[in-house]
Amino acid sequence: MAAPGGVSVNHTLGKIHVISNTSNAISIVDQATHAVVRVAVGTSPVGVPVDERNGRVYVRNVVDDTVSVVDSAAGTVIATLPVGFGTNANGVTVAAVYHRAYVPNSTDATVNVIDTDAVSAIQTINVGREPQDVVIDRNGGDLYTVNQFDDTVSVVNIGTNAPITKFGVGGSPWRAAVALDLQRLLVLNQRGNQPDTVSIASTQDTLPDTAVATEFYHAAFNHYFHSAGEVETTLLQDGIFGNDWNRTFEYWRVWTAAGANRYPVCRFFSATFAPKSSHFFTPYAAECSSLQQGNVWTYEGTVYYIGLPDNTGSCAAGTAALYRVYNNGMGGAPNHRYTPDRAVRDSMVTQGWVAEGSGPDVVFACTPTLLNG
């Protein structure tokens, strides 16, 4: 391919995407067979960010002012979406947690919001002048745009898509990243012929005392696991256990601090069921105490906080239902799966898992809502 200008990988599908700005196309390479499929997109494409949840890539076509949505498995363009004018802007930013993609439009001083499930543009956000890059703080619930002509960063509440504030940084900022500790925003500034500088600012937090729990699946065990710890989640995504644990792209929000009607969740680990191992989570104090007795389960401490439904299975206002299913010991080792999606819960029940919880809808727990707390 002539003039390759970017690459991305969909680890779930085993596909590599390579973009060519001069050929107006991307090449999709199968990691196993090395077979290549060439897909024509728009004029002067930039960036190939992956929507791994839905198996797609989003390609910004600078001259056409469009975004091509490509199905990685089929090797076809499934939609071409109009966006704003953005001659100098970066490509698309995909946020799997929020099921959204964000397109900075440098000429328009706007950001287009795309629903990655429906594959449709749903909103336009006004930001600073010449937005170059968009980054997401998934735990804080905020979006940051780097505005090159303003020497500023705009902060947008990702739940409401409403601008919150704008703060100054160094000259001609053009790229940014949220630090792993989620407390700092790092902004790279270009100052003409001067050396680049990095501005360091505190991140906003429109969803205080919360974090995103990410679910993983172990195919050989047929077991599910989740973590709300940013470092642990990153290590799992980066393959600390090889390819054993893979994201399901299911997420829900939890509390990270004690508060009214929040219950500490104990986490346990057991290797008693070798060759399989398992984790267990419980918000019930009596169950937490009893499992610490004996040699079957190792207590790993309180990992987060959740709410509990009433006897009818109803959650308090401002919270959302979390479901739990139990594998009933299938495969020789116990395992539970947690999900905010009733359809996922029902699908697991048809596979022989047992729904656990309260009320007619069998609700297990209550969590902060994903986007707006």
Dihedral of alpha carbons 90, 92, 94, 99, sign: positive
Spatial CA neighbour of 86 closest among 135, 44, 32, 24? 44
- Whole-number pLDDT of residue 371: 64
Cα separation, 198 vs 253, whole angstroms: 31
The pLDDT, as a whole number, for residue 180 is 75
Residue 367's nearest CA partner among 267, 228, 231, 247 is 228
Low-confidence ranges of the chain (pLDDT < 70): 1-5, 192-195, 371-373
pLDDT of residue 370: 73
Rounded Cα distance between 100 and 116, Å, is 5
Burial class (CB in 10 A: 0-12, 13-18, 19+), 32: exposed
Among residues 212, 104, 225, the alpha carbon closest in space to that of 154 is found at 104
Going along 83-231, which residue ranges are E strands? 93-95, 100-105, 110-115, 120-126, 131-137, 142-147, 152-157, 162-168, 173-178, 184-191, 194-202, 210-218, 223-227
CATH numbers and ranges of domains, the chain = 83-202 (2.130.10.10), 210-368 (no CATH)
Q: What tokens were used for 302?
A: 């309180």
Q: What is the pLDDT of residue 193?
A: 54
Q: What is the pLDDT of residue 305?
A: 98
- 2 vs 4: CA distance, rounded Å: 6
